[in-house]
Amino acid sequence: MSSELVIAYYDASPDTTRQERWQALLTPLLGTFRMVGLLDAAAEQAQIALVWSPPTGRLAQLSALKLIISLGQGVDHLMREPDLPKSAHIVRLVDPNMSHALSQWVILNILDHYREGRLYRAYRAEKAFIQRPQIETADLPVAVYGMGAIGQVIASQLAGLGFDVHGWSRTKRDFGSQITAYHGSDGFRQLTQTCRCHVCILPLTPETEGLFSAEIFNSMPTGALFINGGRGKQVVEADLLAAIRSGQLGGAALDVFAVEPLPDSHPFWDEPNITIWPHVAAQTNPETAARQVASAITSVLAGKTPDNLVDLARGY
């Protein structure tokens, strides 16, 4: 039996240079190893899988796996896997670079909405030099749903910009003096009813699937802004559309959708008040994530528990 380190790679993209890029970045950190495609026969010797959205059932065939690393912050792509090898740890990326990218995306959408960027771009197209009264944001309450590593960066950066920020987590937590903490279903309802801007960064779990439905959108103050950088399936899309069309919501910015790529026939495309981003809010950056990936691999090979472990039962 060979003790050679074999890493099986898959990222669901036609761009084959990504695998080479990961290999080049990991080599100085790990020394000699062999990187193979997850679907190659050689993957059966792999101790490590570095994957995004692998074909269902493939990981279950790899009995030598000790570690599965999600190539993103979310792990819902692994949750649908039947029979993941029991001996394998599962970790996700927690990359400050991605947290900052997602935070910048949220801030971009909030500022564009409240500074009326779309309207001023339309004026500009008409060469119309029209000034509108500025919308004050200091007392504009913003809710951030999902106060993990990313949510906390978003909340503190929004607080730094002078927003009145409220953070929601499943269980009771404290986020410091700048962010009012809420938790549980009562806290969730309080926030949906009082905040004028709602930012979802939640992981997809059975509890969060379909969470943002007509009932929740209708409980929000009229004209609220809804931003989703979590997962598409957390939103009942027909209910979001109805809330936008009726004016109950003043706008939505979405990076994630129940079906991706968003089909051509999807009615969201025809709604000017829905800003559509093609799942690009925070892209995995191998340059910044490689160190974390290498450290998870060396920990597991040394018999230690890696950081950023995923609890499959909890769903993130």
Which positions lie near ligand OXD, rule CB under 6 A? 72-74, 282
How many angstroms separate the CA atoms of 278 and 239, rounded? 21
Residue closer to ligand OXD by CB (options 77, 115) is 77
For ligand OXD, the nearest residue by Cβ is 72
**What is the nearest approach in angstroms of ligand OXD to the Cβ of residue 21?**
17
With contact defined as beta carbons under 8 Å apart, do 111 and 134 qualify?
Answer: no
Residue closer to ligand OXD by CB (options 192, 292) is 292
How many angstroms separate the CA atoms of 83 and 59, rounded? 8
Residue closer to ligand OXD by CB (options 76, 164) is 76
Residue closer to ligand OXD by CB (options 67, 159) is 67
Residue closer to ligand OXD by CB (options 179, 282) is 282
Residue closer to ligand OXD by CB (options 105, 217) is 105
**What is the nearest approach in angstroms of ligand OXD to the Cβ of residue 52?**
8
What is the signed CA dihedral for 107, 112, 115, 121, rounded to 10 degrees? 160
Q: Which 3 state secondary structure label does DSSP give 132?
A: coil
With contact defined as beta carbons under 8 Å apart, do 172 and 159 qualify?
Answer: no
Catalytic one among 231, 266, 291, 314?
A: 231
Query: For this structure, is 279 an active site residue?
Result: yes
Catalytic one among 118, 279, 291, 314?
A: 279
**What is the nearest approach in angstroms of ligand OXD to the Cβ of residue 229?**
8
Q: Which residues make beta-bridge pairs with 73?
A: none
Q: Is the dihedral of CA 129, 130, 135, 136 positive or negative?
A: positive
With contact defined as beta carbons under 8 Å apart, do 71 and 280 qualify?
Answer: no
**What is the nearest approach in angstroms of ligand OXD to the Cβ of residue 139?**
32
Q: Which residues make beta-bridge pairs with 254?
A: 228, 276
**What is the nearest approach in angstroms of ligand OXD to the Cβ of residue 73?**
4
**What is the nearest approach in angstroms of ligand OXD to the Cβ of residue 236?**
20
Query: For this structure, is 196 an active site residue?
Result: no
**Opening angle at CA 181, ends 178 and 183, nearest 5:** 165
DSSP-derived secondary structure for 1-27: -----EEEEE-S-S-THHHHHHHHHHH
**What is the nearest approach in angstroms of ligand OXD to the Cβ of residue 74?**
3
CA distances from 102 to 45, 138, 255 (A): 36, 22, 10
Half-sphere exposure of 113 (CA within 13 A, CB side): 26
With contact defined as beta carbons under 8 Å apart, do 249 and 217 qualify?
Answer: yes
Q: Which 3 state secondary structure label does DSSP give 200?
A: strand
Residue closer to ligand OXD by CB (options 73, 192) is 73
Looking at the annotation, which residues are catalytic?
231, 279
